[in-house]
Amino acid sequence: MIEKKQKPTLFDALFPIVILLCLLFLAVYFFGDDSSSGPNQIALMLCAGVASLIALKNGYKRDEIEEGITKGISLTLGAILILLAVGSLIGTWLLAGTVPTMIYFGLQILDPQYFYVSCSIICALVALCIGSSWTVAATIGVALMGVATGIDASGPMTAGAIISGAYFGDKLSPLSDTTNLAPAIAGTELFVHIKNMMWSTVPSFVITLIIFFYLGLNSATQASNTQIDQLLVSLESEFFIAWYLLLPLLLTLFLAIKKIPAFPAIGLGAIAGAVWAVLFQQDLIISYANDGLSTVEANIMVVWQVMYSGVSLDTGNKAIDRLLSGGGMGSMLNTIWLIISAMTFGSIMEKAGLLKRIVESLISVTNSAGSLISTTIVTAFGTNCIAADQYIAIVMPGRMFKDAYKQRGLAPENLSRALEDGGTVTSPLIPWNTCGAYMQSVLLINPLEYAVFCFFNWLSPIIGIICAFAGFKVRSLLVRTTEESEQTSSLATEIPLRNTDKG
């Protein structure tokens, strides 16, 4: 006999979330910036226990809950592998001189007054070409953070500029996984979705660039030419600098453009960095190795060590040591711990139907197209907070709201745009989300610090909500059907004419 499961109440669904918010607040209160180094993980696991008790109360078996957790964590294995590969990539690129070379040229090219707006534009263009905000942050972003240190620019503000640009390009790129996922879930075409997103995305980015331009002009922390010259001399003394040390970067970007998955692309980039280190940074490797080792042994040992523990320079120059130390797979383990903890909580919430119960309550109070679209955006953001993964924040609300859009006569591209406005771009703002944890591990800035400067990531959902309530570019199914019929009719009249011409 199959036991009937009890449908969760709204109190059941909200109780673990309230407990989580309280614990996360206490984690920040007691531990500050170190909250993501253990306290947040404990908070998430405790709330996973609370959600499990509610699931057991409602008739779920322990095996079912464990199955849900296993399935949820398995969805993040790809992200975990990418994180490990990125750790190795940063380590080998530091050793190879790739990152130091990017910083060296960046210090000479980028004007401090236009630095923030330049960061956004550069990251936006690269992300648009390769379709990956994560790859942009791990490559271009790491170098720009180094340049920011060299010119005394704000670290959190630089991270905000990098993330704003990276997510703008990612959001509009046809190569992006989330840009393909959202229309697939909503039931619309990719380029229809991208065209419809322009109305909330482009204005958000234009405003973002204006803000960063103003902040750059009014920045009080700009390094003098003497400071920059000293940093350039230090880079030259510690590393061999040459343009061809950027080839591992170009290789990684080329693989991304060719749609090679992120894990092998970044992994090959890390291996290229290791080869370049052996070819061009022999003096650094020998100084880094243990005494008594042969040249071959020193190369093998240092490259191997850098891939798992990163680079740790001790030059006597604290600025250089701080700037060019880091990387390694080991540096990513805390982030992986955070992701696993967050997915454990989110998976139980989804398996027990607690997330679905919240969404059902939200749908019941929507009485217009504007309120439905706005509710979708808010739900996607909330799912990012609860389930801690941007893919779940797109898939789950997309499935839940799809029928409601059909019933209200709204075209599916309205849903896909709302999912991107609320799900994709808000994910790096949340410290325990996979994207927020990733950005912190790569850029070395806490999301609680950089989030306020991610202007694009805040403006995109806000402008999306404004457009929804104003009825601006909210497409109905009737209008879309009429347009498709006209296109089909036009095509039907054109085809015979073409055949006649050929005849």
Q: Is residue 83 part of a domain?
A: yes
Single-letter amino acid code for the residue at 320: I
Cα 69 from Cα 175, distance rounded (Å) = 30
Under the banding of pLDDT at 50, 70 and 90, the label for residue 231 is: confident
Under the banding of pLDDT at 50, 70 and 90, the label for residue 1 is: very low
Going by C-alpha positions, the residue among 479, 326, 347 that lies closest to residue 411 is: 479
Q: Is residue 47 part of a domain?
A: no
Q: pLDDT tens-digit profile of 333-349?
A: 988 898 898 889 989 99
How many angstroms separate the Cα of 267 from the Cα of each of 84, 141, 337, 443, 499?
A: 9, 17, 21, 19, 51
pLDDT at 503 over 50: no
**pLDDT (average), residues 209-220:** 85
Percent residues over pLDDT 70 in the chain: 92
DSSP string, 322-385: HHS-B-SGGGGHHHHHHHHHHHHHHHHHHHTTHHHHHHHHHHHT--SHHHHHHHHHHHHHHHHH
Structural domain span for residue 221: 78-331
Residues 6+ apart with CB under 8 A from 448: 28, 33, 35, 431
Q: Is residue 231 part of a domain?
A: yes
Note the pLDDT of residue 491.
40
Q: pLDDT tens-digit profile of 411-452?
A: 999 999 999 999 999 999 999 888 999 999 999 999 989 999
Going by C-alpha positions, the residue among 346, 374, 446, 403 that lies closest to residue 37 is: 446
Q: Are 208 and 455 in contact (CB under 8 A)?
A: yes
Under the banding of pLDDT at 50, 70 and 90, the label for residue 480 is: low
pLDDT, the chain, mean: 86
Q: Is residue 94 part of a domain?
A: yes
pLDDT at 502 over 50: no
Cα dihedral 153/155/161/166 (nearest 10): 130
Note the pLDDT of residue 481.
54
Single-letter amino acid code for the residue at 187: G
Note the pLDDT of residue 485.
52
- Compare 360 and 33 and report the one with higher pLDDT: 360
Under the banding of pLDDT at 50, 70 and 90, the label for residue 487 is: low
pLDDT at 296 over 60: yes
Q: Tokens in use for 58?
A: 């409602």
Q: Is residue 58 part of a domain?
A: no
User: What is the rounded end-to-end Cα distance, in angstroms, of the chain?
Assistant: 72
Going by C-alpha positions, the residue among 349, 331, 329, 340 that lies closest to residue 434 is: 340
Cα 71 from Cα 82, distance rounded (Å) = 19
Note the pLDDT of residue 476.
83
Helix (H), strand (E) counts: the chain: 26, 0
Note the pLDDT of residue 2.
53
Q: Are 65 and 55 in contact (CB under 8 A)?
A: yes
Note the pLDDT of residue 76.
83
**pLDDT (average), residues 477-482:** 60
Under the banding of pLDDT at 50, 70 and 90, the label for residue 453 is: very high
Maximum Cα–Cα distance across the chain: 83
Of 4-8, 35-39, 120-124, 351-355, give the range with the top mean pLDDT. 120-124
**Within 10 Å of residue 237's Cβ, how many Cβ atoms?**
10
If one counts the domains in the chain, the total is: 1
Note the pLDDT of residue 309.
92
CB crowding 10-26: b at 16 or more within 10 Å, else e = eebbebbbebbeebbee
Q: Is residue 70 part of a domain?
A: no
Q: Is residue 350 part of a domain?
A: no
Note the pLDDT of residue 496.
42
Q: pLDDT tens-digit profile of 354-385?
A: 988 888 888 887 888 889 999 999 999 998 88
Going by C-alpha positions, the residue among 342, 309, 345 that lies closest to residue 436 is: 342
Q: pLDDT tens-digit profile of 171-194?
A: 999 878 888 888 988 888 888 999
Q: pLDDT tens-digit profile of 44-60?
A: 999 999 999 999 999 99
pLDDT at 495 over 50: no
Q: Is residue 416 part of a domain?
A: no
**pLDDT (average), residues 98-117:** 87
- Collapsing DSSP to helix, strand or coil, 476 comes out as strand
441: left (phi over 0), alpha (psi -120 to 50) or beta: alpha
- Compare 137 and 150 and report the one with higher pLDDT: 137
pLDDT at 5 over 70: yes
Going by C-alpha positions, the residue among 202, 205, 203, 173 that lies closest to residue 190 is: 173
Q: Are 401 and 363 in contact (CB under 8 A)?
A: yes
Note the pLDDT of residue 259.
80
> pTM higher than 0.85 for the full model?
no
Q: Are 146 and 99 in contact (CB under 8 A)?
A: yes
Note the pLDDT of residue 482.
56
